Amino acid sequence: MSVRGQSLLSLRGLTPEDLLEVLDTAESFVEVNRRSVKKVPALRGRVVASLFYEESTRTRLSFETAAKRLSADVLSLAVASSSVKKGESLRDTIATIEALGIDAVVLRHRASGAAEQVARYVPHVRVINAGDGQHQHPTQGLLDVFTVRQILAARRGARGSETGAALFEGLHVLMVGDIRHSRVARSDIDAYVALGATVRVAAPPTLLPPGIETWPVTVVDSLRDSLEWADVLALLRLQQERGTGRFVPSLAEFTATFGLTQERFALVRPEALVMHPGPINRGIEIDAAVADAPASVITRQVANGVPIRMAVLFLTVAGAREGEL
Ligand code: CP
């Protein structure tokens, strides 16, 4: 089930080979992004629509940057000032955009399953899920594993593509925070587990999803006991807009029990990576100084959003092979 020529709705079910194809293609685009002229003609003449029904900084900007660097034309719908505000349905909005002649739509929506629904409405358009409710955020999962592989490979003096999935075998990933509401957690876990990593999750019981016992992870009660175990410490945002506040007695209590405070950070191994998809709540899930510490790769994650999204657009829209770049 390669992403080549397909919509990308979820990371669930992708094989290590499928994931590595995206990561290796993204590595080619890292070099493009270092050039003074950061542009290749791969998607010249193709049209990518950017449709964000929910707020975004990183995903929207990096998808639009990625599409432009591939020479695609970008239609960016400002939902807040569009006919959506007059009550136009998602189905009619998509039909309208399709009528303008598009090859792909990048969709963020607060409803889980919205991307799958749109893929049914417009079967001839590639749909790329840029985050749907609590369901999936596939390109975030891809850029997270890409960032880990890039850094670990560089420590060994190699390129990520030279290591394949080997760096993930035996890798310890600790995810902390609001697992219940997090689409990033779901996509990250799919990617890490497929590539061979071991994942633990630490959260207050109220911020664990129903059915967590069926997930391919180990739930730990004590964050403290797993800090030394972790090679990757993946923090998640407390999602106030999805009602997280109703699931914890107070933000201060969450920070006291599950926040990455300076005291807890002192227990983390020196070579461990601290990650967060952003936007971060400084002083809640992560201490402000820890967010800016050398171990924090949050800015690198953002930067890697561009080559990963270039790779996803390239593979899904053009369906081309890496050698054709
Ligand atoms: N990580 C992420 O999805 O950030 P944005 O909401 O800013 O796109």
For residue range 64-74, list pLDDT tens digits in order: 999 999 999 99
Write the pLDDT tens digit of every residue in 135-179: 999 999 999 999 999 999 999 999 999 999 999 999 999 999 999
Q: Residue 198 is which amino acid?
A: T
Query: What span, in angstroms and rounded, lies between the C-alpha atoms of 195 and 244?
Result: 30
Q: What is the pLDDT of residue 250?
A: 87
> What is the rounded average pLDDT of the residues 85-106?
96
112 alpha carbon – ligand 1 mean position (Å): 16
pLDDT at 118 exceeding the cut of 70: yes
Q: To 5 degrees, how large is the angle CA 39–CA 40–CA 41? A: 125
Q: Tell me the CA–centroid distance for residue 42 and ligand 1, in Å.
A: 26
Domains of the chain: 16-136+303-318 (3.40.50.1370), 138-301 (3.40.50.1370)
What is the chain's mean pLDDT, rounded? Answer: 94
- In sign, the C-alpha dihedral spanning 3, 234, 150, 40 is positive
Residue whose CA lies nearest to ligand 1 atom number 1 = 277
Res. 241 pLDDT band, cuts 50 70 90: low
The single-letter DSSP state of residue 213 is: G
pTM: 0.95
Mutational pocket test of ligand 1: of 58, 61, 109, 304, the residue with most ligand atoms within 8 Å of the beta carbon: 58
Calculate the alpha carbon distances from 81 to 16, 40, 52, 74, 86 in Å: 41, 32, 12, 18, 9
Determine contact, residues 8/128, Cβ cutoff 8 Å: yes
d(CA 299, CA 304): 9
Is the pLDDT at 4 greater than 60? The verdict is yes
Say how far apart CA 220 and CA 229 lie, in whole Å. Answer: 12
Could you tell me if 134 and 182 are in contact, meaning their C-beta atoms sit under 8 angstroms apart?
A: yes
57, 61, 285: which to mutate for ligand 1, most atoms within 8 A of CB? 57
Is pLDDT at 322 greater than 50 in this prediction?
A: no
Ligand 1 pocket, residues with Cβ under 6 angstroms: 56-59, 131, 140, 277-279
> Which is the closest atom of ligand 1 to the Cα of 130?
3
323 pLDDT exceeds 60? no
Q: Which ligand 1 atom is at minimum distance from the Cα of 131?
A: 3
What whole-number distance in Å separates Cα of residue 58 and Cα of residue 86? Answer: 27
Nearest CA to ligand 1 atom 4: 58
Q: Taking residues 270-283, report their average pLDDT.
A: 96
Average pLDDT over residues 86-102: 96
C-alpha to C-alpha distance for 135 and 115, rounded to whole angstroms: 10
